[in-house]
Amino acid sequence: MAEEAIRRRERLDRGVKVRADTVYAISSWKEMMFLLAPRALLVIGLLCAPLIAPNLYWQRVICIFGVYALLAIGFDFLAHFVGLVSLGGALFIGVGGYISGICNHYYGISPALSIPIGTLAGAVICTLILLPTLPLRGVYFAIITFTYPVMAERIICAAGILGGTDGIPGLSMLPSTWVNQYLILGIVIVSTFVLRRLVNEDIGIVFRGVKDNDQAIRASGISITYYKAVAVFIAALLGCLGGAYMAHLYGWVGISLFAMDFSVFPLVATVVGGPGTLVGPVLGSLILVPISEILRAFGALRIVFYSLIMVLFILFWSEGLLNWARRKYEQFEHWVRV
């Protein structure tokens, strides 16, 4: 027992990692591999997914995964780099979806164009809608973003606009399942790396300041609201893209695009995958979407299941998968006597 007491676990950074972090020029193959391997693994893994998917149904699941992944990335970015906990992922999906749906249905614009339009216009609109709420924080922002989608849904129902509860069916679909999958996967990969780069740029530091050092930011003559808006815009881009894509994936938009699932799932994915890593959410969705598909047989029970997962993770393993894996990857752990 006493023996145990004087032993403790020590963590050492791998030499490679230490250098790779600080020194900007990486000298040896070893170091390059050290940095490249995980990224390559992710990219290749994602790109191979469609090939190993057993059948069309699972390929469709991959597409859905893509949408959720985008949402999750957006959520993680907002929550852990800018400090805005948004429970309104559905708003992004809905707005993006509807806009591209409208473009396609009423103006006959082809998906190739309507998706980008939906994305951009959607993001702008979402940012404008959320603008007044940006000074709010924590619980307040979370709650109000939570109410926005519900609001949108009710209004569309009540006013009977945009096809009311029927939605707008018969949109033009995307050409082939392969396009479907690689389009979304490509977007996921690109946006992940772009965002990761972004948060390590100078602007990333400003964002982080907005999150937990806002005095310093304002004392530097930088408008916090402005950068919050920028951040929301970025997240909205991802969300709306997901929505627009979804609209043409099923050739249909309706109020259920504002459904709560879209707001909740990103949370779970992020919590499980590893908050504050941006790749974590992707990983999280990659694990959870298929699981929830497999559990489909259990009906409602599967929601129970993944909300419990969420609780457990946040209580007992809040670092999430990726942070953990990363620690293991970058550090030796061993027992030392003290």
Partner 1 sequence: MKKILALVISLSFVLLTAIADAKPIVIGVATDTQILDGFATIRGLNLAVEEINSAGGINVKGEKRPFKVEIMDTRDCEPGVPVSEALLVLEKIILDKGADFIIGPGRSEAALAALGLIANYKKIQLLTCGGLSPKFHGTIAENYDKYKYAFRITGESRYMVEEAMDLLGGLNSKYGINRMFVIVEDVAFARAGGEIASENLKKKGWEILGYERYPAGTSDFSAGLLKAKDAKAQILFVMGEMAELSILINQWNDMKIPALPFGNYLGPAMEPKFWQVTKGRAAYTIVNLVNAGNAPSNATPWTMKFCKAYEKKYGTEPEGYGTSSGYMAPYIIKDAVERAGTLDPDALVTAMEKTNLVGVYGRVRFDPKSHQIIPQLDPEKGAVGTIFQWQDGKRVVVYPPKIAMGEVKFPPWMMEYWKIKKK
Partner 2 sequence: MNILVYGLINSLLLVLMALGFALAYSVSRVPNFTHGALYVLTGYLTWVFLNRLGLNYGLCIILSIASVTAMGWLIYQLTVIRVRGMPTSEIIVTFAISLAILEFLRWRGLRGATYVLPVFHLSTIHIYGVPVDAQRIIAVVITAVIVLALWLFTHYTKVGLGLRAIAQNERAALLLGIDSDRAATLALSLGSALAAIAAITILPMGNINVATGYDVLVSAIAVCICGGLGSWTGTILAGFVIGFAQMIVVYFIAPHLAMVVALAAVILILIFKPSGLFGRQKELEERV
Partner 3 sequence: MGEEVFLQVRNLSKSFGGVRAVNDLSFELYKGEILGIIGPNGSGKTTLLNLVTGFVRKDSGKVVFKDNDITHWPAHKICDIGLVRTFQIVRPYATLPAFKNMIPPLYSPRSKRSASGKLGDRDAVAIDLLEEVGFERDAHVPYKLAGSLPLGYLKRLEFARCLAMKPEIICCDEVFSGLSMAEIASMVPLVERLQKDGITLVMIEHRLRELFRVANRILVINFGEKIAEGVPREVMKDKKVRKAYLGEEVEL
Would you tell me which residues interact with partner 2 (CB under 8 A)? 79, 85, 87, 132-133, 135-140, 142-144, 147-148, 150-151, 154-155, 157-158, 214, 260, 264, 267-268, 271, 298-301, 303-304, 307-308, 310-311, 314-315, 318
**Which of 186, 232, 177 shows the shortest CA–CA distance to 69?**
186
Closest distance between partner 3 and the C-beta of residue 281, in Å? 21
Interface with partner 1 includes 290 (CB under 8 A)? no
Q: Per CB under 8 A, does 293 bind partner 1?
A: yes
Exactly one of 12, 32, 203, 304 binds partner 3 (CB under 8 A); which one? 203
Q: Which does 107 bind (CB under 5 to 8 A by kind): partner 3, partner 2, partner 1, none?
A: none
Does 299 sit near partner 1 (CB under 8 A)?
yes
Q: Name the minimum Å distance from CB 213 to partner 3.
A: 6
In the list partner 2, partner 1, partner 3, none, the entry touching 314 (Cβ below 5 to 8 angstroms by class) is partner 2
Residue of 190, 178, 212 lying closest to 63 (CA atoms): 178
Any contact of residue 297 with partner 1 (CB under 8 A)? yes
Residue with Cβ nearer partner 1 (243 or 274): 243
Query: Element (H or E) spanning 166, and its range?
Result: none
**CA separation for the pair 18, 34 (Å, rounded):** 11
What DSSP string runs through 275-315? TTSSHHHHHHHHHHHHHHHHGGGGTTHHHHHHHHHHHHHHH
Considering the rule CB under 8 A, would residue 146 count as an interface residue with partner 1? no
The reply on whether position 108 binds partner 3 by CB under 8 A is no
d(CA 220, CA 150): 38
Q: Which of partner 3, partner 1, partner 2, none binds 205 (CB below 5-8 Å, type-dependent)?
A: partner 3
Q: Which stretch binds partner 1 (CB under 8 A): 19-27, 138-146, 195-203, 249-257?
A: 249-257
> Among 190, 183, 181, 184, which residue's Cα sits nearest to residue 52?
181
CA Rg value for the chain: 21
Do the beta carbons of residue 156 and residue 253 sit within 8 Å? no
Query: Under 8 Å CB-to-CB from 304, ≥6 apart: which residues?
Result: none
Do residues 76 and 211 lie in contact, with contact meaning Cβ atoms separated by under 8 Å? no
What the block records as the tokens of 62 is 């991959």
Residue 254 contacts which entry, partner 3, partner 1, partner 2, none (Cβ below 5-8 A, type-dependent) = partner 1
1 binds partner 1 (CB under 8 A): no
| Binding-site partner at residue 203 among partner 2, partner 1, partner 3, none, CB < 5 to 8 Å by type | partner 3
Is residue 308 within the footprint of partner 3 (CB under 8 A)? no
Sorted by sequence, the CB contacts under 8 Å of residue 183 that are 6+ apart come out as 174, 245
The item of partner 2, partner 3, partner 1, none sharing an interface with residue 297, based on CB under 5 to 8 Å by kind, is partner 1
* Residue 176, phi then psi, degrees to nearest 5: -140, 165
Q: Which residue shows structure tokens 């699941």?
A: 61
Distance CA 65, CA 81 (A): 23
Tokens of 175: 């050409």
Count of residues of this chain found to bind partner 1 when the rule CB under 8 A is applied = 34
Tally Cβ neighbours within 10 Å of residue 98. Answer: 30
Task: Give the contact letters, 17-56, x = binds to partner 3 (CB under 8 A), - = no.
Answer: -----x----------------------------------
CB of 199 to partner 3, least distance (A): 12
Check if the beta carbon of residue 322 is closer than 8 Å to that of residue 269: no
Residues that bind partner 1 (CB under 8 A): 55-58, 60-61, 64, 154, 157-158, 164-167, 169-170, 173, 246, 249-252, 254, 256-257, 259-262, 293, 296-297, 299-300
Q: Provide the binding-site residues for partner 3, judged by CB under 8 A.
A: 22, 202-203, 205-206, 208-209, 213, 215-224
